[in-house]
Amino acid sequence: MSAAREVIERIAFSLLRGLPAEAPGLLGDDGLHRLLHMPAEEVTRATGGARGMARDLARRGEALQRAAAEYEYATAHGIRCLSPADPDWPDGLRDIADAPRMLYILGKGSLTAKRMLSVVGTRRATAYGTTMTRRLIEALSERCAPVSIVSGLAYGIDCAAHTAALETGMPTLAIVAHGLGMIYPSAHRDLAHRIVEAGGAIVSEYPHDTRPWRGQFLERNRIVAAISAVTLVAETPVKGGALSTASCADSYGRAVLAVPGRVGDEASAGCNHLIRSRRAEICTSAGDIIETAGWSDAGVRQAAPEQMSLFEPMGDEKLVADCLRGSAEPVQFDIIAQRTGIAVPALLALLAEMEFDGHLLRYPGNRFALG
């Protein structure tokens, strides 16, 4: 059998979801080829006639034509077509019942790296969420690089995770909910290009012309959850899509970590709920990720005990820090000025400097909190 024919038949099988995953194995040697070419009644008899098969058996010719076109597109655009029969199929996808039947991969990134971390969260990330995501990934890069950072190329936390990986020189994989003939959101085309250029990959289970729709984002989440040993929820409200990823990870026996947020902060309410309900372990440092993943026994470079901040304020900085430390919510600029007694021009410059140094987080409405 030619390599091209084999790949085309695997693609065709992935398009026929009504045919059970175990069907080729029931047809003996060269079972997939026989499944796609034998008379329908023979296939039904040999496989026990599983419900839903008749419709897809009638569509085999159409599926093979689509598969041939898909293979031609993939070849022309440097896209790898990977199936469970390939030796470099991700181990994390071998043990789940709802694994995809085909992955399309643009870029050289490996899906079988020894250390992989899935990072998920809200599309409407706050400064706190993006800062924590960046700090955790930066700390990982210092302690145990390389770690492949897996996320979904969405706005918010996904974007922050991919960007932090790129900035720290670590590989990153974007699992998308559409075909590789497009990038969604379109604003992230440059980010996708940077991921591929840096040796990462854009990954999809859908043919190249598949447009995004809501159900596919939920389908995509199971791949994000399964492919890594640990899923980190950086920031999410109680109804955030990241919770579905966390639920998938938990159902697959993967570890789930969540970054805690301020009490009453809606953006982090989902993380706090995961921790409170014991569906996730608390994560406040890269050390928590390393310990949960067991990477400390896998050649991880040892480091001094980690601190999220070495900031020890003095003078006016201390006045600002003391003002913010005593509040459970971000504090408005006018209140900071009133409580510290610092002149407005000097305070504006000081807050900008503290924010630039990462000691301060700026929120909408000209409000501030400690970083």
Residue type at position 125: A
Outline where 145-297 has alpha helix (H). 157-167, 189-197, 214-227, 242-251, 269-276, 286-293
List the domains of the chain with CATH numbers.
1-69 (no CATH), 116-297 (3.40.50.450), 315-370 (1.10.10.10)
User: For residue 304, what pLDDT band results from cuts at 50, 70 and 90?
Assistant: very low
Q: Which residues contact 106 (CB under 8 A, 6 or more apart)?
A: 77, 78, 79, 80, 180, 196, 201, 202, 203
**Residue written as token pair 């440059």:** 190
Task: Indicate the pTM of the whole model.
Answer: 0.80
As a whole number, mean pLDDT of residues 13-26 equals 89
Read off the pLDDT of residues 160-193 as tens digits, 9 standing for 90 and up.
999 999 999 999 999 999 999 999 999 999 999 9
pLDDT tens digit sequence for 57-70: 999 999 999 999 99
Task: Check pLDDT > 50 for residue 311.
Answer: no
Alpha helices per DSSP H over the chain = 3-15, 31-37, 40-47, 53-57, 60-76, 127-144, 157-167, 189-197, 214-227, 242-251, 269-276, 286-293, 315-325, 333-340, 344-356
pLDDT of residue 50: 59
Which tokens go with 321? 């820090």
Measured CA angle at 133 (ends 127, 134), to 5 deg? 90
Residue 69 CB contacts under 8 Å (≥ 6 apart), including other chains:
none
Phi–psi pair at 82, nearest 5 degrees: -120, 135
Tokens, residue 212: 């995004």
Tens of pLDDT, residue by residue over 122-158, are: 999 998 999 999 999 999 999 988 999 999 999 999 9
Assign residue 139 a region: left if phi > 0, alpha if psi is -120 to 50, beta otherwise? alpha
The answer on pLDDT for 302 being more than 90 is no
**pLDDT number for residue 51:** 59
Q: What is the mean pLDDT of the chain?
A: 89
Position 257 pLDDT exceeds 90: yes
Residues facing 117 on adjacent strands: 149, 230
Position 313 scores a pLDDT of 62
* Torsion on CA atoms 208, 97, 23, 52, rounded to nearest 10: -80
| pLDDT value of position 301 | 46
Q: What pLDDT score does 306 carry?
A: 43
Q: Is residue 235 over pLDDT 70?
A: yes
Instruction: Give the tens place of pLDDT for each residue, 327-338.
Output: 767 888 889 998
Q: At what angle do helices 344-356 and 315-325 cross, to 10 degrees?
A: 80
pLDDT at 93: 96
Percent with pLDDT over 70 in the chain: 92
Residue 316: per-residue pLDDT: 86
More confident residue, 21 or 161: 161
Give the pLDDT band of residue 95 (cuts 50, 70, 90): confident
Average pLDDT, stretch 230-258?
95
Q: Does residue 89 register a pLDDT over 70? A: yes
> What is the model's pLDDT at position 360?
79
Interior/surface letters 177-194, b for 16+ CB within 10 angstroms, e for the rest: bbbbbebbeeebeebbee
Length of the chain: 371
